[in-house]
Amino acid sequence: MRQQLAKIAQEGRIVVKIGSGVLADETGRVDPKVLRRITNELVPLLGLRRWVYVVSSGAIATGMGIMGLKTRPRTMPGLQAAAAVGQSKLMEAWSQAFSRHHLPVAQVLLTHADLANRKRFLNARRALGELQKRRAVPIINENDTVSFEEIAFGDNDELAAQVSNLVDAKLLIMMSVASGILDHEQKRISSISAQDPLLDSLAQPGKSRFGSGGMVSKLRAARVASARGAWVAILDGSAPGAIASLLVGEDVGTVLAPATSGSMPSRDHWIAHTLRPAGTLVVDPGAAKALGEQGRSLLPSGIRSVRGDFAEGDPVEVAVAEEAGERPLARGLVRYAAEQLRLMQGRSSKEIMALLGFTSGEAVHRDDLVLLERAR
């Protein structure tokens, strides 16, 4: 498995996510020696057939150090203020490190709302592609100064997974304070499928003094990235040479392999893993079978109930009603507003025509619908 990863990573795009715990010293400031070491490890990956996209945490941690805060702010304004103070210093540190190799860096700040909008998603993709052509290294971070719950990624692990889809990366490397994923006997797992259910019992949530997330968020991010076909590696960011060792097939960190069934198309991945459902359509077993086994669109007649307040074109989750409860089945882009679907649910086209004066089409077209079992 590791030799296969090493071969795949010889060309293409690589996303490297670096956590606050790796970059920050005891005061919360970015340690320039650590940052220079990591930069020196990244530079050999930059070439004509391969490029690196850096997802860098550290803005809030740096701001905490500058403002003399001993603990991470607990309020959103406090986090935003720390990020505003620290982001410029973080970029300055990356710029100085890469300038030693005569390479420019580019600051790229994103929110979840940027990637949830399809036009902005594609614009971001084009901009990042142009940076590669211009041989500039993107330093990507969440735009913490303006982020709030509705538009935030939650942590940079999720951001890194979304960037992997954005640039169609072949490899996502997450540099952490952990040596990798540990089994129940606290031994490092060398290689495993990203979809192996064993991982669910091993990953534990965590939060450091300067960062958030933990192994749970890394596993979630790994599965999102692997659904697009990317390999994922979790490495000890404090270990010098870990990236180079990984890329020659040595046994460092934990490697998570993507599903063997192939990668999802980018737009399907965007629907399944980037968009956040604005509501839920609960369908009957017959409609679920038509969607799952026959690849059909969802018609209003198969809908039992409608939850949420959404507009035409919004993302929704499709769940099937079963004896044990509801089971999430798919995600898609709905073609009617919630108010309309509540009037149309469970009705045939003739009934809808008599009631509303128009003939309905699909509630969710098959081209805009992704089965969750295929999204893993």
pLDDT digits (tens, 9 = 90+) for 198-255: 888 886 555 444 344 578 889 999 999 999 999 999 999 999 999 999 999 999 999 9
What's the pLDDT band for 159 if we cut at 50, 70, 90? very high
Q: Is the pLDDT of residue 104 over 60?
A: yes
Q: Is the pLDDT of residue 116 over 50?
A: yes
Nearest to 139 by CA among 298, 317, 17: 17
Rounded CA-CA distance 237/35 in Å is 10
Among 262, 287, 312, give the residue marking a domain's end.
262
Residue 270 lies in a domain: no
At residue 227, what is the residue type?
A
Q: Mark whether 68 and 149 lie in a shared domain.
A: yes
Domain assignment present for 272: no
More confident residue, 145 or 253: 253
The CA angle 97-47-57, to the nearest 5 degrees, is 40
Question: Is pLDDT above 50 for 314?
Answer: yes
pLDDT of 71: 83
Q: Is the pLDDT of residue 152 over 80?
A: no
Mean pLDDT score across all residues of the chain:
90
For residues 208 and 300, membership in a common domain is answered with no
Domain that holds residue 324: 277-374
Q: What is the mean pLDDT of residues 174-187?
A: 90
- Within the chain, residue ranges assigned H as helices are 2-8, 20-23, 32-42, 59-67, 76-99, 112-116, 118-133, 156-167, 198-202, 215-227, 242-247, 266-269, 285-292, 338-344, 349-356
| Domain end (from 216, 232, 262) | 262
Looking at the 3D structure of the chain, how many domains does it have? 2
The CA-based angle 14-15-21, given to 5 degrees, is: 140
- With cut-offs at 50, 70 and 90, classify the pLDDT of residue 151: very low
What pLDDT sits at residue 210? 39
Characterize the bridge pairing of strands 12-18 and 50-56.
Answer: parallel
Whether the CB-CB separation of 239 and 252 falls below 8 Å is answered with: yes
**Average pLDDT for 251-266:** 87
pLDDT at 61: 85
Place of tokens 């590669």: 132
Residues 6+ apart with CB under 8 A from 140: 53, 54, 55, 56, 108, 109, 110, 159, 163
- Token pair of 54, please? 């850096």
Could you tell me if 136 and 282 lie in one domain?
A: no
Burial class (CB in 10 A: 0-12, 13-18, 19+), 55: buried
Read off the pTM. 0.90
Token pair of 173, please? 């490397």
**Structure tokens belonging to residue 19:** 């956590």
The residue with greater pLDDT, 260 or 345, is 345
Tokens of 47: 């070439």
Q: Which of 238, 186, 229, 314 is nearest to 25 (CA)?
A: 238
Per-residue pLDDT tens over the stretch 77-91: 888 898 899 999 999
287 and 331 share one domain = yes
